[in-house]
Amino acid sequence: MSGRETVLAAIRQGLGRGPLGDAARRALDERQGATDSAPLLPKLPKGPLQQVFRAGLEKVSGTMSEVTKLDEVPGAVAGYLSGHGLAPEAAVAPSLESLDWSGAGIQASFGPTRGGDYAGVSLAWRGVAENGSLVLLSGPENPTSLNFLPDHHIVVLHGKDLVPHLEPVWVALRERGEQGWPRTVNVITGPSRTADIELTIQLGAHGPRSLHVLLVD
Amino acid sequence: MESLSHAFKERSVHALKDETLQVALHRAKDGFAVKRAKAVEGLPEFDALRDRAVAIKNHTLENLDHYLERYADAVERSGGKVHWASSAEDARRIVVEICRAAGAKMITKGKSMVGEEVGVNGALEGAGFEVVETDLGEYIIQLAHEPPSHIIVPAVHKTRGQIADLFHENHQKYGLTRKLSEVPEMVNEARQVLRSKYLDADVGITGANFLIAESGTSVIVTNEGNGDLTCSLPRVHIVTAGIEKVVPTAEDATTLLRLLARSATGQDLTTYTTFSTGPKRADDTDGPEEYHVVLVDSGRSTMLADQFREMLRCIRCGACMNHCPVYGAIGGHAYGWVYPGPMGSVLTPLSVGLKEAGNLPNACTLNGHCAEVCPVRIPLPDLLRTLRHREYQLKLGLKPLRWGLAAWVWFTSHPRIYRLGTRVQARMLATLAGRKGRFTRMPLAGGWFKGGRDLPAPQGETFMAVWARRQKERGQ
């Protein structure tokens, strides 16, 4: 018997029944989740989604600034870098390659990073108001390494991509159809932190020391 | 991991006398309980979500074979490989084989309790691989050659002074010359050293907080980002997960996520919640080339058969130990195996046997606090009581305790003799105690009085006698 069959047989023995029939299995697949009901969504504080998102982000030590057009992003990034005393260099996601980075005085490299970059710039697929979370999908246009290796992570988020909870993200992901799930969906809520030494919270454990959102709206 | 649970009593006494440990435990206890309470207060739907979570877990466990098959098929469709391990030994062998086939030298690890349970590190080191834990807490205890003392904060028993010493001893080869004293510089020191390990590793091993059946996705939560660097930089990613981790959909996992961080650390959501599905795609520019999942049974399927199925709802948040007075007094190491506290006192005897770990279910005051805070409403005190019953039925407990219990049963089932006996005893003890009304010493019970404690004496009348007298007075 294969490992799979051995484990499944042990489970069925524990459950005190044989394998489920095709009809029973189909019925399980047709359920809307385990409870076969709409998810229970926590009520959000009153106010526009942007405001709720910002409150959630700031609660976890993230920061945010707003621009009105995507074209303004390189300039805003340049402002962030000089404000933090950093050189005007950044590893940028190819999804943002068409912007005028050199015009803003930034020396940008496009693609994944191996850790030599102080700042990484990515594009979020969704923003989740509930906890001020960013949802990033991996792919050639958005390498995952940009989210974790640079000290400063700057994330571009379109206002239209803000959703109240995580649940609409899953619905949208299923609607991608053929493409299905990317290798990684990163839900990021604030900069890296640890409390492993004497329960003292310290930012920048292994991932970025700071997380900045550029909201385009 | 090898069990030391048989030595629970000696280890508890040792822990109570360890002053450094007591300082660390005291700090942890208040911190966690207060943070959790605040987070729960901020989510009015918390209790309704707990009911949902129980329903999600119960339904999935009832149909566990179906959801695991659906999960495994989805993993294979996304280009990953699923390995099924009936035992801890199987799991160790599978992980070693994958690392050998990958031609690995260095392996980084994200925190994984099932990894600790089956003893992945020992097996890999035995096979000649270099293994580096990357969660800061796990890294610290790896340097100290100790097992975790808490399932969320593995090094909670260490003070910053001890950690500074460990870095001083072990990091000189990386160029550290002075002894560090502040938390930020220690975190930074670990960050710098581990950076190069992430980049050099051939294989990254993580656990899974949830497995999503519909998409074949494994979910990990970390605050540090170490899990992500572990699963995205090396060539091979291995996920080790217990079979009970599967849930049908991403929405089901989301409901559980709302409970997990709040119960564990008092956060609304952990910093990094990462959903991994298969290896890197054809056009991806980063990510692992191979993605393996090792599904571990190791006794879990047996738990499906009786009331211990409820224990399989556990999402490993650690709230039960954070609110347990026994854990708070002795810490995690005294329990002698991977899982400490109330959940560990249920799991350990089921895993290593009641003969080895019979003391654990008895080291409980049954105050019920663990069940009150459990996000998936596991009736931990009931399960512990069942284990005590089993221990008694298997005649495993201490003989004097068995005799005492047998005598007690005889007395309580003979009410007349019981009443007479207690009346005589109460009067006798009251007379012996004299005017002080308390005992300061007693033969055979010397331990009770250590630390200046007295034992209050009965006042001369039994409860039954007082009750009968009052009823009579009221009737007149």
pLDDT value of position B265: 94
Answer yes or no: is B25 within a domain: no
Say yes or no: B408 and B295 in one domain: no
Chains A & B: contacts with CB separation below 8 Å: 269
Domains of chain A, first to last: 1-37 (no CATH), 45-216 (3.40.50.10420)
Residue indicated by tokens 């496009």: A110
Q: How far apart are CA B144 and CA B162, in angstroms?
A: 9
Say yes or no: B257 and B137 in one domain: yes
Could B286 and A112 be called an inter-chain contact, meaning their C-beta atoms sit closer than 8 Å? yes
Answer yes or no: is B315 within a domain: no
Say yes or no: B411 and B294 in one domain: no
pLDDT, average across residues A123-130: 98
Say yes or no: B415 and B287 in one domain: no
Query: What CATH code is carried by the domain that includes residue B65?
Result: 3.40.50.10420
Residues 317-336 of B with CB under 8 A from A: none
Residue at which a domain ends, from B301, B323, B354: B301
pTM of the model: 0.93
Q: Which residue of B has its CA nearest to A200?
A: B183
- To the nearest whole percent, how much of chain B has pLDDT over 70? 98
Are B303 and B349 in contact, with CB atoms under 8 Å apart?
Answer: no
Residue indicated by tokens 């080895």: B356
Task: With H, G, I as helix, E, B as strand and everything else as coil, classify residue B272.
Answer: strand
Q: Which of the four pLDDT bands, split at 50, 70 and 90, describes residue B476?
A: low
Query: Which residues in chain B have their CB less than 8 angstroms from residue A60's CB?
Result: 267, 271
Residues 200-259 of B with CB under 8 A from A: 215, 217, 223-226, 228-229, 232-233, 243, 247-252, 254-255, 257-258
Could A6 and B31 be called an inter-chain contact, meaning their C-beta atoms sit closer than 8 Å? no
Mutate to test the interface with A, among B157, B211, B284, B298 (most CBs of A within 10 A): B284
Say yes or no: B278 and B407 in one domain: no
Say yes or no: B422 and B281 in one domain: no
User: What average pLDDT does the structure give for chain B?
Assistant: 94
Residues B233-269 have pLDDT tens digits of 999 999 999 999 999 999 999 999 999 999 999 999 9
Give how many domains chain B has, as a whole number: 2
Task: With H, G, I as helix, E, B as strand and everything else as coil, classify residue A107.
Answer: strand
Residue at which a domain ends, from B273, B301, B329: B301
What residue numbers bound the domain in which B269 lies?
Answer: 43-301
Residues B428-441 have pLDDT tens digits of 888 888 888 888 77
Compute CA distances B31 → A109, B24, B150, B322, whole Å: 43, 11, 14, 9
Q: Which residue of A has its CA nearest to B59?
A: A34
Mutate to test the interface with A, among B71, B223, B236 (most CBs of A within 10 A): B223
Q: Which residues contact B409 (CB under 8 A, 6 or more apart)?
A: none
Answer yes or no: is B216 within a domain: yes
Q: Which residues are registered as beta bridge partners of A137? A: A185
Q: Is A178's pLDDT higher than 80?
A: no
Residue indicated by tokens 């004097």: B400
Could B224 and A199 be called an inter-chain contact, meaning their C-beta atoms sit closer than 8 Å? no
Residues 15-54 of A with CB under 8 A from B: 15-16, 19-20, 24-25, 28-29, 31-35, 39-40, 42-43
Least confident of A156-160, A212-216, B428-432: B428-432
Answer yes or no: is B7 within a domain: no
Residue at which a domain ends, from B301, B323, B349: B301
Answer yes or no: is B12 within a domain: no
Answer yes or no: is B4 within a domain: no
Backbone angles phi, psi at B293, to 5 degrees: -120, 130
How many residues belong to chain B?
Answer: 476
Compute CA distances B424 → B408, B420, B432, whole Å: 16, 6, 12
Answer yes or no: is B388 within a domain: no
Q: Is B2's pLDDT higher than 90?
A: no
pLDDT value of position B211: 98
Inform me whether the C-beta atom of residue A198 falls under 8 Å from chain B C-beta atoms.
Answer: yes
pLDDT value of position B317: 97
Answer yes or no: is B58 within a domain: yes
Query: Which residues in chain A have their CB less than 8 angstroms from residue B56's CB?
Result: 33-35
d(CA A188, nearest CA chain B) in Å = 5
Say yes or no: B269 and B128 in one domain: yes
Q: Is B397's pLDDT higher than 80?
A: no
Compute CA distances B348 → A79, B5, B39, B141, B212, whole Å: 56, 8, 30, 21, 27
Mutate to test the interface with B, among A4, A7, A131 (most CBs of B within 10 A): A7
Q: Which residues are registered as beta bridge partners of A154? A: A121, A212
Q: Which residue of A has its CA nearest to B308?
A: A14
